[in-house]
Structure formats: structure tokens, C-alpha cells
């Protein structure tokens, strides 16, 4: 189970790096989504995988008996998913607004904040 998760993480990271190297910001954003999922899987796997042992406390007892799954990484992943979702939604909205105003999402052409070298030199 762990090795399968490790392979999935590897594939996700590889795909996300490939997407992030693309010149379009939208592709970069998709890469970011994959990377965020890879990070979540890493946390999930680092809590160790336990099959079919939910962290439930039997009735009448005050602590779970026997081996149970680690609930903490799941709580962490849940938090990370929520935060990641918010951030990615913002980034998508930002990308949309940028496309609407700048008429491009090619990162090479986005030079509003940092005008091309030479433009400043000629003014000097």
C-alpha cells in the first residue's frame, strides 16, 4: 500500500513539474493543483497505512482497543485540502481577471510590472 502511494506521489509530482514548466499560467495552475494533492498524499502516507481499522472507541471504553488507524494525518490532510482549495480558487479567479485585463496568460508576455530591459535604459 505504502509503495503504491509513493509511486502515485512520484507520478503526480512529475506531471506537475511538467505542467509548471509550460509557458501558460493556466497550465502552471493545473500543475500546482497536482502538486498540492501530492503533498496531501505525502502527509497521509507518513501517518502509516492501516487497513480496515478505523479509529473508533468501542462503547463503554475510553480509549480505542487494539491497533487503529492514525487519525491525526487525516485531520491534517483535511485542513490542508480546505486551505489549498481556498488558495487555488483565489488563484483561478486571479488568472481569469488577469486574462480579462491583460489579454494573455503567457508568462513571457506578462511584463506589466517589470517592463522589458532596455525600455528603462532608453528613458534614462
Q: Which is nearer to other proteins, 56 or 109 (CB)?
A: 109
> Quick check: 23 binds other proteins (CB under 8 A)?
no
Q: Out of 8, 47, 64, 74, point to the residue binding other proteins (CB under 8 A).
A: 47
> Quick check: 79 binds other proteins (CB under 8 A)?
yes
Q: How many CB atoms lie within 10 A of CB 16?
A: 20
> Quick check: 83 binds other proteins (CB under 8 A)?
yes
C-alpha distances out from residue 7 to 10, 45, 56, 67, 112, Å: 5, 11, 30, 26, 41
Q: Using CA atoms, how far apart are residues 80 and 11, in angstroms rounded to an integer?
A: 20
C-alpha distances out from residue 4 to 16, 49, 50, 63, 80, Å: 18, 11, 14, 31, 22
CB of 75 to other proteins, least distance (A): 9
User: Contact positions toward other proteins, by CB under 8 A?
Assistant: 20, 25, 28, 32, 35-36, 38-39, 42-48, 72-73, 76, 79-80, 83, 86-87, 90-91, 94-95, 97-98, 101-102, 107, 110-114, 120, 123-124
Amino acid at each position: 500500500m505504502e509503495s503504491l502511494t509513493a509511486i502515485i506521489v512520484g507520478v503526480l509530482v512529475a506531471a506537475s513539474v511538467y505542467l509548471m514548466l509550460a509557458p501558460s499560467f493556466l497550465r502552471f495552475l493545473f500543475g500546482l493543483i497536482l502538486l498540492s494533492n501530492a503533498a496531501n498524499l505525502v502527509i497521509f502516507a507518513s501517518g502509516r497505512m492501516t487497513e480496515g481499522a478505523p479509529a473508533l472507541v468501542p462503547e463503554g471504553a475510553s480509549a480505542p482497543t487494539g491497533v487503529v488507524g492514525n487519525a491525526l494525518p487525516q485531520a491534517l490532510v483535511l485542513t490542508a485540502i480546505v486551505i489549498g482549495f481556498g488558495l487555488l480558487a483565489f488563484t483561478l479567479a486571479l488568472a481569469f481577471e488577469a486574462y480579462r485585463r491583460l489579454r494573455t496568460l503567457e508568462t513571457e508576455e506578462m511584463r506589466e510590472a517589470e517592463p522589458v530591459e532596455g525600455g528603462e535604459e532608453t528613458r534614462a
